[in-house]
Amino acid sequence: MKKEFLFVLGLAGTLMAHADDYPYLTFLDTNGTEQSVVATGLVITFSDGQMNATDNNGKVTTISLSDLKKMYFSSATSAIDSTGTEEEAKDSEVEVFTLAGNSLGKYEDIRQAKTALQKGVYVVKHSHQTLKIAVQ
């Protein structure tokens, strides 16, 4: 019995290691500015001197190739740009992610999300805007 438990623990350990798959692809431009996009389902194409990164939700991040220095997988987002406020999101359907980029589902509005979520820090997306929230 002990052996079986140790075996499952080992497998679970492996699972946790894979859970460290990089949630973001971060682009660094020649000015040192970083931009991170969610890696899951990301598609990158090139046209007219531009790099276009389209995420799972259809959001496109465009960077000029002449400005692009490198890209790399990353575990943390490069300071998520809060492009919106809780007030702006109060009447909108939102999707909640962990900081690691795992989706926790959609909620009617941010208030409902906060009610449902446990204590912690989350990333909330709505209407192409992103913000960080903390649930106390």
Partner 1 sequence: MKKYLFLISILVLTLTASAQTLNVVVGNVTYQFPATQAGDMTYTGSTQLTICGKKFNIADINKIYIDNATVTDNEVTVAYESTSAKVTVAGNVAQYVAPIVTGAHVGIIQSNTEDVDGNEITYSLSGTSSDGEFYLKGSYKCSIDLCGVSLTNLTPVHSGAALHIQNGKRINISVKKDTENSLTDCASPSDDMAQKAALYVKGHAEFKGKGTLNVYGRYKHAIKTGEYLTIKNCTVNVKQSAGDGINCNEYFLMESGAIALSNIGDDGIQASIDDDIDATAETNDHEEENSGNVYLLDGTISGTISTAAAKGVKSDGAMNISGGAINLTVSGGGAIDYTLDSSGNPTTTFSSTSACSALKSDGDMTILGGTLKLTATGAGGKGLSGDGNLYVKGGDITVKTTGGIVYYSNKTLATTTSSKTTERLASNYKSSPKGIKFDGNIAISGGTISVTASYHEGIESKGTIDITGGTIYAQSSDDAINAASHLTINGGTTCAYSTGNDGIDSNGNTYIKSGIIYTIGSSSPEVGVDANTEEGYKLYVTGGTIVAIGGLESGAQLTQTCYQLGSSSSGGNRPGFPGNNSSSSWSKSTWYALCSNGTPVLAFKTPASGGSALVVSTSGTTTMKVSSSSNAITVDETIWNGMGSIGTINGGAAATLSTYSGGQGRF
Q: Which positions lie near partner 1, rule CB under 8 A? A: 1, 4-5, 7-8, 11-12, 14-15, 18, 21-22, 25, 39-46, 49, 51, 65-66, 68-73
| Closest to partner 1 by CB, 4 or 87 | 4
Q: CA nearest 129: which of 78, 77, 94?
A: 94
Residue positions counted in the chain: 136
Smallest distance, partner 1 to C-beta of residue 54, A = 9
| Closest to partner 1 by CB, 47 or 136 | 47
| Calpha distance 102→23 (Å, rounded) | 8
**Cβ(124)–Cβ(134) under 8 Å?**
no
Smallest distance, partner 1 to C-beta of residue 110, A = 28
Smallest distance, partner 1 to C-beta of residue 120, A = 22
Return the SS3 of 134.
Answer: strand
